[in-house]
Structure 1
Amino acid sequence: MSGTIRKRFWTAVRHEPDGDRYRIMLDERPLKVPGGPLLRLQSEALAAAVSDEWTRAGGQVGDAFGPEMLPLTRLAGTQQERVAPRRPAVVSALLGYVDGDLLCYRATYPEVLLERQQGAWEPWLDWCAARHGARLVVGQGVMPLVQPVDATTALEQALHAQSDAALTGLGVLVPILGSLVLGLAVADGALGADAATGLALLDETYQLEHWGADADTSQRQAALLQEAREAERFMTLSVGAGRGPPGTLQRWLIEGRVQGVGYRMWLVAEARLLGLTGWVRNLRDGRVEALLQGPEQAVSNLLAAAHVGPMAARVTGIATELRTDPIAPVGFTQASSSDQPLEPYSSR
């Protein structure tokens, strides 16, 4: 788990219970954090995903691999070694972003940018006030703000209430987004990493629309988005207790330009990243139908992203339905096209 390039020495990977947690076995050797103790994971869903990382790392015995191939492992090690033993310090560091929260600093010009900020950011300040009892003040320009004591106190309480895994994810998300509010929204499942990153890059996106993009900027934005996705996935999988109930089951009917644009392939990849089970298929009438099961937060996050989909798609609406006929946990697949969607419960 160090930052250096290493060579693969194992042939098989598995995860197994270790008391109330899970451990990873590389052949017959347990995986350890750099400090020496065993890496112990809080959910079977996370353990399975970490196991998959090590199964893929390097490919064959003797092949080289680096830490970029093990994002979940790095986050799990950070949680165990750096977050859990020093929670007050982590909370204090995150609380330091309150006065400088991106959402509270609005442009003085041009008017179109200010309107865009207002429309995109204000709903999340409202969410923060409703969800955490923290009403933050807004200013224009770059003069520093000092947020009300009661709002800062409320956000401090919200941070103390987070799990170790959530604090670990927030430690990645908040610096990337420049916003504690957006980070808490992702941790709460109210906002997906993709949407949160888009909100954080709103000013930059506006400038790119007028002056054009360059390769360095695009590469940097892609790297930020990837880090945000990894943090979100870590938090989602950490919550997904494999020994518990299967979570929510939803049927989606997706309308718009969603066939012939890679929408099903995109949805399969995103669902697998979040550890969901189910299937997606085309319908003869041009819609896409999906049946998804997993932790409610993960399904909610994917639903937010599904309204956008891959680049060539144009989603006009997604009808959702809660189901109660659980599906077998056999992964997430692309099913054959169908003439008719599943029968809705309301018509039974």
Structure 2
Amino acid sequence: MQRATSLVAVNAPKHVAAFSKVAALVETPRGGPSSGSGAKIAGRSRFYKAVGIEAEGDGYCITLDGKKVRTPSRSLLQLPTKALAATVAMEWDAQREVIQPTTMPIMTLASTALDHWDFEFIIEELMKYLQTDTICFPVESQHQEKLATRQEKKWQPLRKWFETEFGGELDINYGTITKLQHDAVAVNNVRMFVDSVRQ
């Protein structure tokens, strides 16, 4: 599996710490070494070599060395589409020597959805990403002209797509990380789009 790559960066949700304590991350025989261990995956050395995807019921699950990943409450991490499963699998595959849950936002959100079923909470967490998207924080050209040119070439099409898709512009802060003031209509349209997923 290829290493995960991304054009954007996001801050992990505040509740990510709640998912770093995992009684049993993967399937093991009852009473096995991970049973009731409350093991933390944050900062834990990567303990697996192969990441895979398997069909499971009417969805797909993630496997680590053939063992199926579970949520913190021990629910099977069963995802509705292969594309979503592939995204989570890439997050696992992208981990290096040490596992960093803060670099696994989709895994975190999927676990939240399966364990809590509070869709309003999920929507609020997703909406926070609009305030942290890297494409809204390009460097200033007078300081890093080469990088600024590359960012403009890669990111402007994404910002244009957003404007067309959601009917408003993204706020841009050059060289500073301050609160963004996105177009209110666009933000509302994004929220409506996310909310439509539950239908």
TM-score with structure 1 setting the length? 0.30
TM-score with structure 2 setting the length? 0.49
With a CA cutoff of 8 Å and minimum separation of 6, indicate the structure with the bigger relative contact order.
2
Higher helix proportion (structure 1 or 2): 1
Higher strand proportion (structure 1 or 2): 1
**Which of the pair has more CA radius of gyration?**
1
